[in-house]
Amino acid sequence: MRARPRSAVVRCVLARPWSYLLRAAHRPGPERNDVLLQLKAVGATVVAWYLAGRLLPAQVRAFAPFTALLALQRTVYRSLWEALRYLGALVIGAGVTGVLGTTAGVHAWTLALVMLFALVAAKTSSLGGQRYQIPVVAAFVFTSGLGRWSYITHMVAAVALGVGCGLVAHFLPAPSFHPASAREQVDDVWQDTRRLVKDVALALGDGRCAGESVQGWGRRCRRLGERVDAARATVRGEEENRRLNPRSRRSGEPAGLGTCLVSLDVLARVVAHLGSLVRGLRQAAACTDGPAHDFLAAYAGLLHRIADALGHHCPGRTGPDDDAARRAMEEATGRCEELIARYPRQAATERWHVYGTLLIDASRILHELGEPDQGHG
């Protein structure tokens, strides 16, 4: 096989970041927020380094640009919270070193005590991931500053300078909100779940339950589960973006983000039951005494109705309380009960384990759709 020209390889490598930049330039959204965050990081780092060079000794200047980067997280709330945690870790680590260094002197056994206390503090501190900075700061202050309070004071000033540059850059301008993009992502996962159920229904209605098709459905189920997690992270990120953000005073309350989280919890359970349904079909396809054609056709009709109910439960389009959604749920539930009555254990003993598994998974999906506001174990 001939190797691709080098220019084609370069174009392929650059295509994704270029497309990302184009999306950021053409419309507001997460891409533009991310690009602005990178530009803010560059500006805050340069300004912090410049000011530290003008105001502070050379030994502590590196702390200012480093802390400016640390203070620039994706949201204002997280930036402020992580910066405060780092300042707390700095005070603890530097304080332990300063007390022992000035009272006991700079010795190997003193360093051992400093590290012991710093590691214990890192274990018990409530500073999140920044607690691991306590022994790092303690070791740095002891080895570079010899535990002197003058060095500690200058280092705290450098850190405060970096935090200030990072937070000022984050507020000018503050990250914008994109709840519509988050809701659209949630809607897309709901609609793709509905499409998967439709595809399964169409295949079963034609009498097709081949192993290759079932394996493809299983892969789609796994991808849907990953996309549900990604959508949940996006929605939570939008909620966090509103905390301490000056834009939130002008934009009012978030539109439907809480409902999106509830619907994603429901969808996660629906996708789990759908994965169980697909595994049941895989076992049925591998079984010599598989489900009869009339059952598959009837079950396909049930899945069509479940797909309709899924479409109505999509939070960005229609709600689970309107008339169309209720009718879809009633039709799907009635069809499921009809199939359970039509294929009782005594009428099809040799195939009931297949029928029962598939009908139970379908009824569980309907149960989740019927009670979207309740948690389930």
- The 10s digit of each residue's pLDDT in 38-54 is 888 888 899 999 999 89
- pLDDT of residue 92 exceeding 80, the answer is yes
- 161 and 192 within one domain: no
For residue 9, tell me if it sits in a domain. Answer: no
Q: In the predicted model, what is the mean pLDDT of the chain?
A: 79
Q: How far apart are CA 39 and CA 25, in angstroms?
A: 13
**Residues 320 and 298 placed together within one structural domain of the fold:** yes
Residue 360 has pLDDT above 70, yes or no: yes
Print burial letters for 72-98: b (CB count within 10 Å at least 16), e (below 16).
bbbbbbbbbbbbebbbbbbebbbbbbb
Task: Assess whether 125 and 196 both reside in one domain.
Answer: no
Predicted local confidence at residue 350, as pLDDT = 56
Q: Is 6 inside any structural domain?
A: no
Specify the CATH number for the domain of residue 330: 1.20.58
Point out the least confidently predicted range of 195-209, 328-342, 363-377: 363-377
The residue with tokens 């992270």 is 233
Q: Is residue 48 part of a domain?
A: yes
The amino acid occupying position 121 is: A
Instruction: Specify whether 321 is located in the same domain as 216.
Output: yes
- The pLDDT value given to residue 22: 54
Q: What is the pTM of this model?
A: 0.71
Q: What's the half-sphere exposure (Cβ side, CA atoms, 13 Å) at 53? A: 7
Domain end, chosen from 171, 205, 226, is at: 171
Nearest-5° angle of CA 149, CA 150, CA 154?
Answer: 110
C-beta separation of 316 from 186 below 8 A = yes
The pLDDT of residue 8 = 55
Query: pLDDT value at position 374?
Result: 45
Measured over the CA atoms of residue 240, residue 246, residue 249 and residue 250, the dihedral's sign is: negative
Provide the Cα torsion 161, 167, 170, 171; round to 10°.
Answer: -120
Containing structural domain, residue 43: 30-171
How far apart, in whole angstroms, are the C-alpha atoms of residue 214 and residue 280?
A: 10
Q: What is the pLDDT of residues 68-89, one digit of tens each?
A: 888 888 888 888 888 888 888 8
Segment 200-250, tens digit of pLDDT: 898 887 766 666 778 888 899 999 999 999 888 888 887 777 777 666 655
Quote the number of domains for the chain. Answer: 2
Do 362 and 280 form a contact (C-beta atoms < 8 A)? no
d(CA 82, CA 114): 24
346: pLDDT strictly greater than 50: no
